[in-house]
Structure 1
Amino acid sequence: MAVIKILPHPEYCPQGARVEAAAGTSICEALLDNDIRIEHACDMSCACTTCHVIVREGFNSLGEMDESEEDLLDRAWGLEPNSRLSCQAIVAQQDLTVEIPRYSINHAKENH
């Protein structure tokens, strides 16, 4: 089991959190399984950027990105070199520290 440390986010986990995740689980699944309601407008099908996270520690332990994730990340708010779509970032054995960006591009949530 890996430990995922989530940095404080004003909406999803104001105090920050630590959750355990089995290898093979996506970061998104691990957060949702632990009541951290990260956005995932496409139901984790790699079709949007609402579950974008920045991996502050442990980035290299995650599986490589495929081309569709790379293309989508180009549209993510607050993109950084260590950004991933949490629905596509599969946990290995190494502990992670992730930051959920303050904003996302979610037209449904914004009532567009």
Structure 2
Amino acid sequence: MVKIVKLEPTTQETVLRTNDNLLTGVLEQELNILPECDGRGMCSTCHVYIKEGMESLSPLNRREKRTLEAIATAQPNSRLACQARVMGEGVVIEIPSGVHVNAIDDIEALIGRRAEQNILHPLSGKVLVEAGKLITRSMISQLQETRTSVGDFLARTREA
């Protein structure tokens, strides 16, 4: 049986089968969501806010709870789209604003420009560069180091 999930603030809708995770539907809409940890609930790149219909989702598991505790912008209505499975109707989700550093193809091209939106850490969701801030060479170094260390961390967890 299919369920319709509404996405805010874009007013888009996506259709999911019962027991599909939210990530499946959100990825189809090409929004600022990444499956950086391959849907294992270990990063913040699929963090969403549930505006309505929390009761229509599967319960939080231990891994998701642990990851949400580490996300700087998590709220009581936060879920990881890779872990939240749609069980009923009426789910409305909001995608947090910002872009994860791992989604930026050419970090070097940002030098001397102002950040168009917040640039976020892929594990903690912490804002690394605020929207409107001038991006300096030292910020680029920090973003590259973050991307490398996150990549190393996720590679190690895939091996485990």
Q: TM-score, structure 2 length as denominator?
A: 0.59
Residue from 60, 64, 68 that aligns with 1:69: 64
Residue from 26, 36, 39 that aligns with 1:41: 36
Distance in 1 of aligned mates of 2:49 and 2:121: 15
2:94 match: 99
Distance in 1 of aligned mates of 2:81 and 2:54: 12
Aligned-pair distance for 1:37? 5.1
* Bigger radius of gyration: 2
Instruction: Name segments (4+ residues, structure 1) moved above 4 Å.
Output: none
2:79 match: 84
2:1 pairs with 1:7 = no
Q: Over aligned residue pairs, what C-alpha RMSD do you find?
A: 1.7
Q: Report the count of equivalent residues.
A: 104
Query: Is the contact between residue 57 and residue 88 of structure 2 (CA under 8 Å) also seen in structure 1?
Result: no
Match for 1:71: what amino acid?
A: R
Cα pair distance change 1:28/1:66, threshold 3 Å: same
Match for 1:84: what amino acid?
A: R
Greater RCO, CA 8 A, separation 6+: 1
Aligned-pair distance for 1:31? 1.3
What is the CA deviation profile of residues 10-62 of structure 1, one whole-angstrom value per residue up to 9, with x for unaligned ones? xxxxx431111111100001111343451221011111121110101000111
Specify which structure has the higher proportion of helix.
2
Unaligned runs of 5+ in 2: 99-119, 124-142, 147-160
SS in 1 for 2:23: helix
SS in 1 for 2:4: strand
Match for 2:3: what amino acid?
A: A
SS in 1 for 2:6: strand
Unaligned runs of 5+ in 1: 9-14
Query: Is the contact between residue 76 and residue 105 of structure 1 (CA under 8 Å) also seen in structure 2?
Result: no
SS in 2 for 1:74: helix
SS in 2 for 1:89: coil
